[in-house]
Structure 1
Amino acid sequence: MAPPSVLAEIATEQQKVTAEIRELDLLVESTQTEVNRLKSREDQMKAKVEEVRRNPGNFQREEIFGATDEHAAAMARRMTMEGQLNSLQSKRKLIDRSAQILAAAQRQLSEYTAPPLPPDTAPLIDESRLLQAV
């Protein structure tokens, strides 16, 4: 079995990863909600642009340009937020992978037993030379 300190460090890292996963899940959820809201706003602006195109005589020039500008701005905001959402989702996948690796490492370390050294093997650390090194 691996030293308890190594197992404790892995357990601590697993807790940190779990907390980060929860935080990312909340961010993904709120970002998805924002993307949906921005998509709805973009659709409203698109409908306004289509209305202006169907009946240009009913609108002032400023209204026509304003509608297309608002639609372009709404589309840009949505696309930016979708980019952030994709980034968060990618980070979530990476952290999931890290959690799997940590779990596998913990499992392997808890099952590991070092083979005994042959009786005629010198110790890994020559205690008689420890003070000489200082």
Structure 2
Amino acid sequence: MDLKIKRVYEKPEDSDGFRILTDRLWPRGISKEKAALDLWEKAIAPSPELRKWFGHEPEKFEEFREKYREELEKNPETERLISLVKEALAKGPVTLLFGAKDKEHNQAVVLQEFLQEKGSAS
């Protein structure tokens, strides 16, 4: 099965499969039609405090990863998301979408790793 990440600003493709936005805030300058989402998972996004502290600064990413993973472990919505992703992956690919410009240092990277470790994806 295929669990991918992609910027929400990139053109949607059939190969994306089930598309989940992982940002708490709606990405600037993109319409709901262009985003072509299947689901917006605000509840599993990093907390506003963590998001502001991180500020997409690559040098803070390792600490951000640890803190966000702690939030995911404590978040009551996480188990629901794990089940949902497992179900969606049984039918085809799943793409976690993010708005950040940095493709290597963002919450979708951490969430993808987390879900893979929890057995949602292989």
The TM-score, its normalising length taken from structure 2, stands at 0.23
Q: Whose strand fraction is larger, Structure 1's or Structure 2's?
A: 2
Q: Whose helix fraction is larger, Structure 1's or Structure 2's?
A: 1
